[in-house]
Chains A and B, each alone.
Chain A
């Protein structure tokens, strides 16, 4: 599954870095795509030197939930612009969601996305395959063919749509278990969310927006856990957004069940609430919707304790005309790749809910394991693949949409100050970001 392997091997010395933010700074030598030596001497011969100045070294981040919009909506994002954003955000692997146009429900589309990722060599781009043909929820897509394709698809999702038919969901969980696939469910009962626009609660009531009730998510999560146990399948819950979902998963995971259940939470659900909807600016429109302060705190707690396994961005670029309009006409989603680290530092690390090891767990190790990646989310140790991110934890920066790499500009964090800056990213031993700037061979960037 190694990508970017066509790039020339290089030797990179990371000077004065602190793995997991622990201990005194050390020098770390990367050679042939692997961590060759920790505590390397000053006289080693290398191609590049990165001065860490005590920055924190972590395994590169893995995003299970990214919308790269190619093919179909290249006016919002492409594999290239998304890959740049991912590298700058500290990611070394991203999973590109299937709701493109045409839909990634066949080997041709998933191989296109996978090849574009390899050509760019900035981040491992793993296409997610659709569960059902055209995301229509009725007929299974050719899951096995996508799994056997060059893209070796293992994560399947109709994200944007819920696989709401329980029989189709059951079959998907059963069928993918043959080749170690995981079904990533966008949990949203469509009957409970007809024309839904905002979290059902006091704010939606006041603003006159049709409610998106939390039980529409929770009931599907509960049902799918039971189906995963019954079929011994692998379920991944996308973007858990309510305290009820966290409570159910905590209870479920405490039990002894067949099958596996994992869950992700987005950075925006860890920070933002539906109070932001007051001005009707659709930059805050997202699905599932922003909920309450109670939900935010429940999700933080659940992530800290492991009830929620990982953070996934649900990076969802949208063209300006799809956001600069009335609320109900706007498309749901927000940018996330370059702000995820800052938001997680602010919501989880700064309050003491996670330490750097914990951050590595939720941003890298767990998502890599859920998706079955063997070369990502590995320890910072000699002999391991050099998929790494170097984080300047002292640095604070102000989010400016115009300065982000994505083509679209729909960030809800405009003007917000966030902690932590990605100083360098290494993908398979090669620098993809250095000094906060994307490094591309011969590209002049």
Chain B
């Protein structure tokens, strides 16, 4: 693997191999007093976050540190970026300074693709930690890891992704990866939050969450930002919550084994009721835990370039 830019480019074999590596790492670290592997000693990993993020940045940082890589965080506000330096120059500078891998989050869709093009000749590898409304591949991997654990596998499973599909990179990455791994995906949202052309993604699209509930193995709730109301995407938070929120009544209509996922940060009371978020069906904390192992696996596959053997 040269770079990790999108879930769309991951084949079933490669994705499964990444998830297997994450499982192996998780088992290896389980119960250890010192959670540190020497695998990436001497390698330099930079995180470049042009958007605020707590969980993703911390998750990557921990993943790198548990593998003994030197992890350095570059924040866009304290760097040359705030002086007007272009993304290209920033990337080339960090590469020249010795970065083996750059983990980038950027508000522009395609930013990671552009970076990979500029850095291709330098040998610096790029991980997309979220680019605009395009993709967030490690989120999809950690969701898949969590679902594999809970459901025993993804093949033939029916999974709903509910919420702001239009602006969501999490949704795009998950549609690709879940389908690659054999799951059926149904997209649920008010039509105003479904991108034109989403019907060509190979997933079903519906506006009726309640009709889907009994047939689902998992529900992935997406955050709905309140500022979306300014764009007239829906009339009110209350109406959204009534139509698309995961509340206790809806939870009760899901099959017993069904899992509720949320990539966070959650808006309790909006897209997910507090009691649902804290229920045994919800896997929010596991998602975060698995995020570290999945990101370790990604760094391992990129920087060490071989499979882990247990």
Binding site for B on A (CB under 8 A): 194, 197, 200-211, 213, 279-280, 321, 324-329
**Among candidates B106, B113, B132, B201, residue contacting A206 with C-beta atoms closer than 8 Å:** B201
Q: With A and B bound together, what is the CA distance between A325 and B84 in angstroms?
A: 12
Cβ of B197 and Cβ of A326 under 8 Å apart?
Answer: no
Within 8 A of A (CB), among B58-86: 86
Which residues 98-123 of B have a CB within 8 angstroms of A?
Answer: 106-111, 113-114, 117
Selected from B86, B87, B109, B114, the residue in CB contact (under 8 A) with A208 is B109
Q: Does B88 contact A (CB under 8 A)?
A: yes
CA distance A209 to B110 in the complex (A): 9
Are A203 and B197 neighbours in the complex by a CB distance under 8 Å? yes
Min CB distance, A299 to chain B, in Å?
A: 20
Number of A-B contacts (CB under 8 A): 74
B88 is contacted by which of A205, A211, A324 (Cβ under 8 Å)? A324
Q: Is the CB of B111 within 8 A of A326?
A: yes
User: In the bound complex, what is the Cα–Cα distance between A228 and B197 (angstroms)?
Assistant: 35
Q: For B110, what are the chain A residues with a Cβ–Cβ distance below 8 Å?
A: 207-209, 280, 326-327
Is B131 in contact with chain A by the CB < 8 A criterion? yes
In whole angstroms, what is the CA distance A327 to B198 when docked?
21
Bound Cα distance A200, B133 (Å) = 14
Give complex CA distance A206, B196 in Å: 10
A321-B197 in contact given A280-B110, A327-B108 (Cβ < 8 Å): no
Q: Determine which residue in B88, B114, B131 has the highest number of CB atoms from chain A within 10 A of its CB, and name it.
A: B114
Inter-chain CA distance A197–B108, complex, in Å, is 11
Interchain CA distance A348-B301 in the complex, whole Å: 50
Cβ-neighbour of A280 out of B107, B113, B172 (below 8 A): B113
Q: Which residues on the B side are within 8 Å of A204 (C-beta)?
A: 195-197
B contact face: mostly helix, strand, loop, or mixed:
mixed
A202 to B87, CA, bound (A): 27
Q: What residues on A are CB-neighbors of B8 within 8 Å?
A: 206
- Interface readout for B166-203 with A: 1 if CB under 8 Å, 0 if not? 00010010000000000000000000000111101100
Closest CB-CB distance, B146 to chain A, in whole Å?
A: 23
Measured between alpha carbons, how far is A326 from B50 in the docked complex, in Å?
13
The listed residue (A194, A208, A321, A328) touching B135 by CB distance below 8 A is A208
* Pair A202/B200 contact, Cβ less than 8 Å: yes
The answer to whether A213 touches B196 (Cβ under 8 A) is yes
Task: Tell me the nearest residue of chain A to B194, going by C-beta.
Answer: A205
**Interface assignment of B134: CB less than 8 Å from any CB of chain A:** yes
What is B's interface to A at a CB cutoff of 8 Å? 8, 86-88, 106-111, 113-114, 117, 131-135, 169, 172, 195-198, 200-201, 231
A205 touches B114 (CB 8 A): no
- Chain B residues within 8 Å of A328, by CB: 107-109, 132
Question: Once the chains are docked, how many angstroms separate the CA of A408 from the CA of B33?
Answer: 60
Contacts of B117 in A (CB 8 A): 279
Output the residue of B107, B110, B111, B231 with the most chain A CB within 10 A: B110
A210 vs B196: C-alpha distance when bound (angstroms): 10
Q: How far is the CA of A208 from the CA of B5 in the complex (A)?
A: 13
Q: Which residue of B lies closest to A279 (CB)?
A: B113
Residues B114 and A327 in contact, CB atoms below 8 Å apart: yes
In the bound complex, residues from chain A placing their C-beta under 8 Å from that of B111 are: 326
- Bound Cα distance from A325 to B92, whole angstroms: 13
Chain A residue nearest to B165 (CB atoms) is A205
Q: Which residues of A contact B107 (CB under 8 A)?
A: 328
Q: List 23 A-B contacts (CB under 8 A).
A: A201-B196, A203-B197, A204-B195, A204-B196, A205-B197, A206-B8, A207-B110, A208-B134, A208-B172, A209-B132, A210-B133, A211-B196, A213-B196, A279-B117, A280-B109, A280-B110, A280-B114, A324-B88, A325-B86, A325-B87, A326-B111, A326-B114, A328-B108
* Nearest A-chain residue to B87, judged by Cβ: A326
Whether the pair B195, A211 counts as a contact (CB closer than 8 A) is: yes
Add 9 more A-B contacts to A326-B111, A328-B109 (CB < 8 A). Answer: A194-B231, A203-B197, A205-B200, A205-B201, A206-B201, A208-B132, A211-B195, A280-B109, A326-B87
The chain A residue sitting closest to B168, CB to CB, is: A208
Contact in complex: A208, B133 (CB < 8 Å): yes
CB distance from B44 to the nearest CB of A (A): 24
Chain B residues contacting A197 (CB-CB under 8 Å) are 109
Residue ID in chain B nearest A194 by CB atoms: B231
Once bound together, how far apart are the Cα atoms of A174 and B27, in whole Å?
Answer: 77
B196 engages A205 (CB within 8 Å): yes
B126 to chain A, nearest CB (A): 13
Complex Cα gap A200–B197 (Å):
8
A194: chain B residues within 8 A (beta carbon)? 231
